[in-house]
Amino acid sequence: MPSDIEIARAATLKPIAQVAEKIGVPDEALHNYGKHIAKIDHGFIKSLEGRPEGKLVLVTAISPTPAGEGKTTTTVGLGDALNRIGKRAVMCLREPSLGPCFGMKGGAAGGGKAQVVPMEQINLHFTGDFHAITSAHSLAAALIDNHVYWANELNIDVRRIHWRRVVDMNDRALRAINQSLGGVANGFPREDGFDITVASEVMAVFCLARDLADLEERLGRIVIAETRDRKPVTLADVKATGAMTVLLKDALQPNLVQTLEGNPALIHGGPFANIAHGCNSVIATQTGLRLADYVVTEAGFGADLGAEKFIDIKCRQTGLKPSAVVIVATVRALKMHGGVNKKDLQGENLDALEKGFANLERHVKNVRSFGLPVVVGVNHFFQDTDAEHAKLKELCRDRLQVEAITCKHWAEGGAGAEALAQAVVKLAEGEQKPLTFAYETETKLTDKIKAIATKLYGAADIQIESKAATKLAGFEKDGYGGLPICMAKTQYSFSTDPTLMGAPSGHLVSVRDVRLSAGAGFVVVICGEIMTMPGLPKVPAADNIRLDANGQIDGLF
């Protein structure tokens, strides 16, 4: 099998207007970025309001392991397969972040024969959306310090400025800085630091905004500091939101690209899946639903984080509702959940598979608890045995009455996921229950956290450190008690201990810190250490990235 990049480069891409035509987007509504990428115009998107909407399919996964699950490839493969069986389907995916490309080799645009293209552009600057977000965030930072510099009429406490800076680069040296040094002309010295752009609240807001007006309002609600008398200061207070919206205007138009099979994919926005909700923009999803019979979209990490946030945050805020959920599993990863080390994965091991099945089982039950119909997509690896796949299907059927379908989209493209597509259509067009959430909007913040931990994570209880408890009480008092929760915990376990694989129970979820994301509209609950600025490895991928003699990019994938 050739490499992902070789496959991507060998593909003949359709002009993007032709891809757009498939879903009824006329040429006038396209802003081209080269021949194979286009943004869809705000005006056209507005004209779609009130159109009947297609069905939403959410692709989520078991708890990730180093063996990999293949959520993005399954999303792409399923979308291609739906098109093959006669459904008009659009895929909605997150945009990759630039910075991490220079750390570890590898892109984020699917793989094998289930990829979105043009892969290089998508993984690098793409249409500049993340640059626009970085600019808007940086402008806000400059305006805050500028406000303090001149007269500080808002009485901002420089010790309590929560707005950090961002850059789309893995740069550990910027995690903690002292700034405004060097004398009077440079302002009031204070502590600060940089996160990577995907961790910016601007990114989260961008991905939850319904339109430009909503974007501006949400930006205005972001709390960036406290006054000397501990009142919240917002981005609206420092008059940043108009100019930030101007910087984000074009970026907010969803990006249209194509799969290797020439089907439309909207790749738009990409918030962190820990301190944010981890899925593509509402605008892209909504636009897709108004243009197609089916929208296939993915949520970050495992279903305990990605799907839960998709439902309790994104669906709750917007009224979206999946008609079917695909939980991606692999035999290899389930064996790891059953206790096998990565290096020992070779060879059939039905016992480990059955033991690790507990992880999948809990995810299936969790997703069903939202009232959603589920199918398991088993992403096939060539080392898997037939007996393993048969065993997994049997376990799913017998213990969960859920269908598990082997998918070979990585090797075969959409043809390899047709059975999954058929199953998805059956579920989505079958009887639907009303969507229920893990907690009610009116529930107190602490009880919301407890609901997630006990109902979905299998925890016995939660434990909130005193600093976090004080902050939660403050959020309730300041009127933010009605916000949903955004859990930031390890993706590797239902617990807060990344080494506890499978389906741990009876554990304690310890809440170390909480943060208010008032613009995005959630309270971030931090369990354990959360890294918002990655570093580079000893030998970063950048060392070997270059243009080859033909002007093609070498070393990136």
Binding residues: 65-72
Q: Is 260 left (phi over 0), alpha (psi -120 to 50) or beta?
A: alpha
Residues annotated within the binding site for ATP are 65-72
Residue 129, both tokens: 């959306």
**Catalytic-residue membership of 428:** no
Among the residue ranges 64-72, 121-129, 368-376, 406-414, the one whose residues contact its own copies (CB under 8 A): 121-129
Residues 233-292 that bind its own copies (CB under 8 A): 239-243, 245-247, 249-250
**Catalytic-residue membership of 102:** no
* 18 near its own copies, rule: CB under 8 A: no
* 216 near its own copies, rule: CB under 8 A: yes
Residues 160-179 that bind its own copies (CB under 8 A): 165, 167-179
Q: Among residues 14, 84, 88, 105, which one is catalytic?
A: 105
Residue 37 CB, shortest distance to its own copies, in Å, is 10
Considering only 49, 50, 151, 398, the residue that binds its own copies (CB under 8 A) is 151
- b/e map 157-190, b = 16+ CB within 10 Å: bbeebebbbbbbbbeeebeeeebbeeeeeebeeb
* 536 near its own copies, rule: CB under 8 A: yes
* 34 near its own copies, rule: CB under 8 A: yes
**Catalytic-residue membership of 546:** no
**Catalytic-residue membership of 410:** yes
Considering only 193, 371, 474, 528, the residue that binds its own copies (CB under 8 A) is 193
Among the residue ranges 85-93, 330-338, 389-397, 539-547, the one whose residues contact its own copies (CB under 8 A): 539-547
**Catalytic-residue membership of 87:** no
Residue 212 CB, shortest distance to its own copies, in Å, is 6
What is the 8-class DSSP label of residue 103?
Answer: T
Helix (H) or strand (E) segment spanning residue 19: helix 16-22
* 223 near its own copies, rule: CB under 8 A: no
Long-range contacts of 119-123 (CB under 8 A, 24+ apart): 119/4, 119/5, 119/8, 119/557, 120/5, 120/8, 120/553, 120/556, 121/33, 121/34, 121/36, 121/37, 122/37, 122/95, 122/96, 122/257, 122/267, 123/96, 123/98, 123/556, 123/557
Phi and psi at 405, nearest 5°, equal -125, 125
**Catalytic-residue membership of 194:** no
Q: Between 138 and 446, whose beta carbon lies closer to its own copies?
A: 138
Residue 289, both tokens: 């639903």
Instruction: Provide the mask over 37-76, with x wherever binding to its own copies is found by CB under 8 A and - wherever it is not.
Output: -----xx---------------------------------
Is the omega angle on the peptide bond into residue 118 within 30 degrees of 0, that is, cis?
yes
Q: Between 64 and 270, whose beta carbon lies closer to its own copies?
A: 270
CA distances from 221 to 202, 218, 226, 239, 315 (A): 11, 5, 13, 11, 20
Give the catalytic positions in this structure: 71, 73, 94, 105, 273, 301, 381, 410
